[in-house]
Amino acid sequence: MSETMAEFVNDDATHDDTWRDDDDPAAFLHRRELRQDAEADAAQRGHPCPDCEGRGEVMGQSGTAMRQTYDEGGERYEYEEPLYDLVPCGTCDGTGRIPDAPDMQAAYDAMYADAEEAQLPVPAIPWDYQLTNRKEAAYVVGAIQMVERQIKDRRAQYEIEVAKLRRLVDFWRTHYTPAVEAVVRAELVAAGGKGRSITLATGVGKTLTRAGFKKSRERLDVVNEQAAVSWADENLPQAVQKTTKFSLLRDPVTQHIKATGEKPDGCEYHPGGVDTFFIR
Protein backbone atom coordinates (compact mmCIF):
# COMPACT_ATOMS: atom_id res chain seq x y z
CA MET A 1 0.00 0.00 0.00
CA SER A 2 1.33 3.40 -0.88
CA GLU A 3 2.21 5.96 1.82
CA THR A 4 -0.65 8.20 0.67
CA MET A 5 -3.09 5.29 0.75
CA ALA A 6 -1.93 4.26 4.25
CA GLU A 7 -2.45 7.77 5.59
CA PHE A 8 -5.87 7.90 3.97
CA VAL A 9 -6.98 4.62 5.58
CA ASN A 10 -5.47 5.36 8.99
CA ASP A 11 -7.23 8.70 9.11
CA ASP A 12 -10.58 7.00 8.51
CA ALA A 13 -11.43 6.32 12.17
CA THR A 14 -15.02 5.40 11.47
CA HIS A 15 -14.16 2.62 8.98
CA ASP A 16 -16.92 3.93 6.74
CA ASP A 17 -17.15 1.62 3.71
CA THR A 18 -19.38 3.83 1.57
CA TRP A 19 -18.05 4.82 -1.83
CA ARG A 20 -16.56 8.30 -2.07
CA ASP A 21 -16.18 10.44 -5.15
CA ASP A 22 -12.37 10.50 -4.80
CA ASP A 23 -12.12 6.79 -3.93
CA ASP A 24 -10.09 4.13 -5.63
CA PRO A 25 -10.97 0.42 -5.34
CA ALA A 26 -8.09 -0.40 -2.97
CA ALA A 27 -9.12 2.19 -0.37
CA PHE A 28 -12.77 1.21 -0.61
CA LEU A 29 -12.09 -2.51 -0.12
CA HIS A 30 -9.69 -1.85 2.74
CA ARG A 31 -12.26 0.24 4.61
CA ARG A 32 -14.80 -2.53 4.14
CA GLU A 33 -12.36 -5.07 5.60
CA LEU A 34 -11.72 -2.79 8.59
CA ARG A 35 -15.43 -2.49 9.29
CA GLN A 36 -16.03 -6.23 8.96
CA ASP A 37 -13.11 -6.99 11.27
CA ALA A 38 -14.44 -4.49 13.84
CA GLU A 39 -17.91 -6.05 13.72
CA ALA A 40 -16.48 -9.57 14.07
CA ASP A 41 -14.37 -8.46 17.03
CA ALA A 42 -17.37 -6.86 18.74
CA ALA A 43 -19.45 -9.99 18.16
CA GLN A 44 -16.83 -12.17 19.88
CA ARG A 45 -16.44 -10.05 23.00
CA GLY A 46 -17.58 -11.57 26.25
CA HIS A 47 -18.48 -15.25 26.61
CA PRO A 48 -21.20 -17.45 25.08
CA CYS A 49 -24.68 -17.01 26.54
CA PRO A 50 -25.53 -20.04 28.73
CA ASP A 51 -29.22 -19.97 27.82
CA CYS A 52 -28.91 -20.06 24.05
CA GLU A 53 -25.38 -21.56 23.99
CA GLY A 54 -24.14 -18.70 21.85
CA ARG A 55 -26.75 -19.12 19.11
CA GLY A 56 -28.72 -15.97 19.97
CA GLU A 57 -32.06 -17.80 19.65
CA VAL A 58 -34.12 -20.06 21.89
CA MET A 59 -37.32 -21.99 21.39
CA GLY A 60 -40.24 -19.94 22.60
CA GLN A 61 -43.78 -18.86 21.90
CA SER A 62 -43.86 -16.91 18.68
CA GLY A 63 -46.84 -14.78 19.72
CA THR A 64 -49.29 -16.35 17.28
CA ALA A 65 -51.80 -19.11 18.01
CA MET A 66 -53.31 -21.86 15.92
CA ARG A 67 -57.02 -22.53 16.40
CA GLN A 68 -57.81 -26.20 17.01
CA THR A 69 -61.19 -27.98 17.18
CA TYR A 70 -62.27 -31.34 18.55
CA ASP A 71 -65.54 -33.19 19.06
CA GLU A 72 -66.59 -34.73 22.33
CA GLY A 73 -69.99 -36.11 23.24
CA GLY A 74 -71.55 -34.68 20.14
CA GLU A 75 -70.25 -31.20 20.96
CA ARG A 76 -67.56 -29.34 19.04
CA TYR A 77 -65.00 -27.41 21.05
CA GLU A 78 -62.43 -24.89 19.90
CA TYR A 79 -59.22 -23.86 21.56
CA GLU A 80 -56.11 -21.94 20.67
CA GLU A 81 -52.79 -23.73 20.70
CA PRO A 82 -49.73 -21.47 20.88
CA LEU A 83 -47.11 -21.89 18.21
CA TYR A 84 -43.49 -22.25 19.20
CA ASP A 85 -40.56 -21.19 17.11
CA LEU A 86 -37.05 -19.83 17.45
CA VAL A 87 -37.15 -16.37 19.06
CA PRO A 88 -34.33 -13.98 20.10
CA CYS A 89 -32.77 -14.95 23.42
CA GLY A 90 -33.81 -12.53 26.16
CA THR A 91 -30.68 -13.12 28.24
CA CYS A 92 -28.22 -11.88 25.62
CA ASP A 93 -30.67 -9.80 23.52
CA GLY A 94 -30.11 -12.11 20.59
CA THR A 95 -26.35 -11.53 20.36
CA GLY A 96 -25.34 -14.91 21.73
CA ARG A 97 -22.71 -13.25 23.93
CA ILE A 98 -22.64 -12.09 27.54
CA PRO A 99 -20.24 -9.22 28.35
CA ASP A 100 -17.32 -10.18 30.56
CA ALA A 101 -16.97 -8.67 34.00
CA PRO A 102 -15.34 -5.23 33.92
CA ASP A 103 -11.58 -4.99 34.29
CA MET A 104 -11.31 -4.47 38.04
CA GLN A 105 -7.67 -3.36 37.85
CA ALA A 106 -8.47 -0.62 35.33
CA ALA A 107 -11.56 0.48 37.27
CA TYR A 108 -9.58 0.64 40.52
CA ASP A 109 -6.73 2.55 38.88
CA ALA A 110 -9.20 5.12 37.55
CA MET A 111 -10.86 5.45 40.97
CA TYR A 112 -7.48 5.81 42.66
CA ALA A 113 -6.41 8.49 40.18
CA ASP A 114 -9.63 10.42 40.85
CA ALA A 115 -8.96 10.28 44.60
CA GLU A 116 -5.39 11.54 44.15
CA GLU A 117 -6.72 14.55 42.21
CA ALA A 118 -8.20 15.76 45.51
CA GLN A 119 -4.57 16.59 46.47
CA LEU A 120 -4.81 14.66 49.71
CA PRO A 121 -2.56 11.77 50.83
CA VAL A 122 -4.18 8.46 49.83
CA PRO A 123 -2.68 5.24 51.24
CA ALA A 124 -1.38 2.83 48.62
CA ILE A 125 -3.50 -0.34 48.63
CA PRO A 126 -3.54 -2.67 45.58
CA TRP A 127 -7.05 -3.55 44.44
CA ASP A 128 -6.34 -7.27 44.99
CA TYR A 129 -4.56 -6.80 48.33
CA GLN A 130 -4.72 -10.05 50.29
CA LEU A 131 -4.62 -9.28 54.00
CA THR A 132 -3.93 -12.25 56.26
CA ASN A 133 -2.88 -10.96 59.68
CA ARG A 134 -3.77 -8.34 62.28
CA LYS A 135 -1.12 -5.87 61.12
CA GLU A 136 -2.41 -5.91 57.54
CA ALA A 137 -6.03 -5.64 58.72
CA ALA A 138 -5.08 -2.65 60.87
CA TYR A 139 -3.40 -1.03 57.84
CA VAL A 140 -6.55 -1.29 55.68
CA VAL A 141 -8.89 -0.12 58.47
CA GLY A 142 -6.49 2.72 59.25
CA ALA A 143 -6.52 3.75 55.58
CA ILE A 144 -10.32 3.88 55.61
CA GLN A 145 -10.36 5.95 58.79
CA MET A 146 -7.63 8.27 57.48
CA VAL A 147 -9.51 9.09 54.28
CA GLU A 148 -12.82 9.46 56.14
CA ARG A 149 -11.13 11.94 58.49
CA GLN A 150 -9.78 13.83 55.48
CA ILE A 151 -13.28 13.94 54.00
CA LYS A 152 -14.66 15.31 57.26
CA ASP A 153 -11.91 17.91 57.56
CA ARG A 154 -12.25 18.92 53.90
CA ARG A 155 -16.03 19.31 54.29
CA ALA A 156 -15.58 21.44 57.42
CA GLN A 157 -12.99 23.61 55.66
CA TYR A 158 -15.28 23.93 52.66
CA GLU A 159 -18.13 25.12 54.88
CA ILE A 160 -15.84 27.67 56.50
CA GLU A 161 -14.73 29.03 53.13
CA VAL A 162 -18.31 29.16 51.85
CA ALA A 163 -19.38 31.04 54.97
CA LYS A 164 -16.65 33.62 54.34
CA LEU A 165 -17.80 34.12 50.77
CA ARG A 166 -21.43 34.29 51.83
CA ARG A 167 -20.70 37.04 54.35
CA LEU A 168 -18.95 39.08 51.66
CA VAL A 169 -21.78 38.61 49.16
CA ASP A 170 -24.38 39.49 51.79
CA PHE A 171 -22.46 42.71 52.56
CA TRP A 172 -22.25 43.65 48.88
CA ARG A 173 -25.93 42.92 48.37
CA THR A 174 -27.01 44.97 51.40
CA HIS A 175 -24.54 47.82 50.91
CA TYR A 176 -24.70 48.31 47.14
CA THR A 177 -28.22 47.25 46.10
CA PRO A 178 -29.70 50.70 46.94
CA ALA A 179 -27.00 52.35 44.80
CA VAL A 180 -27.64 49.94 41.90
CA GLU A 181 -31.35 50.68 42.21
CA ALA A 182 -30.68 54.41 42.04
CA VAL A 183 -28.60 53.97 38.87
CA VAL A 184 -31.37 51.91 37.25
CA ARG A 185 -33.99 54.53 38.16
CA ALA A 186 -31.83 57.29 36.68
CA GLU A 187 -31.32 55.30 33.47
CA LEU A 188 -35.07 54.70 33.11
CA VAL A 189 -35.82 58.39 33.67
CA ALA A 190 -33.19 59.34 31.09
CA ALA A 191 -34.89 56.98 28.65
CA GLY A 192 -38.13 58.91 29.08
CA GLY A 193 -39.76 56.37 31.37
CA LYS A 194 -39.87 53.74 28.65
CA GLY A 195 -39.43 50.24 29.98
CA ARG A 196 -39.04 49.00 33.51
CA SER A 197 -35.56 47.45 33.35
CA ILE A 198 -32.11 47.86 31.84
CA THR A 199 -29.38 45.41 30.84
CA LEU A 200 -26.04 45.16 32.61
CA ALA A 201 -23.04 43.53 30.92
CA THR A 202 -21.63 41.76 33.98
CA GLY A 203 -19.47 39.28 32.05
CA VAL A 204 -20.49 36.46 34.39
CA GLY A 205 -22.57 33.52 33.28
CA LYS A 206 -25.17 34.98 30.94
CA THR A 207 -24.02 37.61 28.48
CA LEU A 208 -26.43 40.19 29.89
CA THR A 209 -28.17 40.60 33.25
CA ARG A 210 -31.40 42.53 33.61
CA ALA A 211 -32.04 44.88 36.51
CA GLY A 212 -35.28 46.75 37.02
CA PHE A 213 -38.67 46.78 38.66
CA LYS A 214 -41.64 44.43 38.62
CA LYS A 215 -44.95 44.24 40.42
CA SER A 216 -44.77 42.21 43.59
CA ARG A 217 -47.15 39.33 44.20
CA GLU A 218 -49.38 39.08 47.23
CA ARG A 219 -48.09 36.58 49.79
CA LEU A 220 -48.26 35.77 53.49
CA ASP A 221 -45.07 34.73 55.27
CA VAL A 222 -45.58 32.74 58.46
CA VAL A 223 -42.46 33.39 60.49
CA ASN A 224 -43.72 31.74 63.70
CA GLU A 225 -46.23 29.04 62.88
CA GLN A 226 -47.02 28.12 66.49
CA ALA A 227 -47.89 31.73 67.36
CA ALA A 228 -49.91 32.13 64.16
CA VAL A 229 -51.91 28.94 64.77
CA SER A 230 -52.64 29.97 68.38
CA TRP A 231 -53.90 33.35 67.19
CA ALA A 232 -56.03 31.87 64.43
CA ASP A 233 -57.50 29.20 66.73
CA GLU A 234 -58.85 31.96 68.95
CA ASN A 235 -59.65 34.68 66.43
CA LEU A 236 -60.13 32.94 63.04
CA PRO A 237 -61.00 29.24 63.57
CA GLN A 238 -61.72 28.63 59.88
CA ALA A 239 -58.06 29.30 59.14
CA VAL A 240 -56.92 26.33 61.25
CA GLN A 241 -56.76 22.88 59.71
CA LYS A 242 -56.82 20.22 62.39
CA THR A 243 -55.28 16.86 61.49
CA THR A 244 -54.60 13.68 63.40
CA LYS A 245 -51.04 12.43 63.26
CA PHE A 246 -50.39 8.75 63.89
CA SER A 247 -47.09 7.31 65.02
CA LEU A 248 -46.03 3.72 65.65
CA LEU A 249 -44.93 2.54 69.08
CA ARG A 250 -42.17 0.02 68.49
CA ASP A 251 -42.26 -1.86 71.79
CA PRO A 252 -45.79 -3.30 71.40
CA VAL A 253 -45.05 -4.31 67.80
CA THR A 254 -41.80 -5.99 68.84
CA GLN A 255 -43.57 -7.93 71.59
CA HIS A 256 -46.30 -8.98 69.14
CA ILE A 257 -43.73 -10.28 66.65
CA LYS A 258 -41.89 -12.23 69.34
CA ALA A 259 -45.13 -13.74 70.65
CA THR A 260 -46.80 -14.64 67.35
CA GLY A 261 -44.05 -14.67 64.71
CA GLU A 262 -46.23 -12.49 62.48
CA LYS A 263 -44.41 -9.97 60.28
CA PRO A 264 -46.34 -6.67 60.21
CA ASP A 265 -46.45 -4.74 56.95
CA GLY A 266 -43.78 -2.11 56.64
CA CYS A 267 -41.59 -3.55 59.38
CA GLU A 268 -38.36 -5.48 59.43
CA TYR A 269 -37.58 -7.28 62.68
CA HIS A 270 -33.98 -8.05 63.56
CA PRO A 271 -33.64 -10.27 66.64
CA GLY A 272 -30.83 -9.52 69.08
CA GLY A 273 -28.06 -11.82 70.14
CA VAL A 274 -26.69 -12.32 66.61
CA ASP A 275 -22.98 -11.75 66.05
CA THR A 276 -22.53 -8.91 63.58
CA PHE A 277 -19.22 -7.56 62.37
CA PHE A 278 -18.34 -3.94 63.07
CA ILE A 279 -15.49 -1.47 62.59
CA ARG A 280 -15.45 1.60 64.78
Q: Is pLDDT above 50 for 23?
A: yes
Confidence (pLDDT) at 70? 63
As a whole number, mean pLDDT of residues 213-217 equals 86
Same domain? For 81 and 31 the reply is no
Does 244 reside within a domain?
no
pLDDT tens-digit map of 55-84: 888 877 665 555 666 667 667 766 666 666
- Domain shared by 36 and 82, yes or no: no
pLDDT digit string, tens, across residues 184-196: 999 999 988 888 8
What's the pLDDT score for residue 62? 61
pTM of the model: 0.45
End position of a domain, from candidates 213, 237, 253: 213
Same domain for 146 and 204? yes
80 in the same domain as 17: no
- CA–CA separation, 167 and 172 (whole Å): 9
pLDDT digit string (tens) for 115-165? 877 777 788 888 778 888 888 888 888 888 888 888 898 899 999 999 999
Q: Are residues 60 and 92 in the same domain?
A: yes
Amino acid at 24: D
Residue % of the chain over a pLDDT of 90: 11
User: How many alpha carbons lie under 13 Å from residue 26 in its C-beta half-sphere?
Assistant: 7
Rg (CA), the chain: 37
CB 74 within 8 A of CB 20: no
Q: Which of 213, 243, 258 is the last residue of a domain?
A: 213
Range of the domain at 151: 134-213
Q: Give phi and psi for 196, each to the nearest 5.
A: -125, 5
Q: Tell me, what's the pLDDT at 11?
A: 40
pLDDT band at 91 (very low <50, low <70, confident <90, very high): confident
Alpha-carbon distance of 160 to 165, in angstroms, equals 9
**Residue 251 clears pLDDT 70, i.e. is over it:** yes
- Say what the pLDDT of residue 14 is: 42
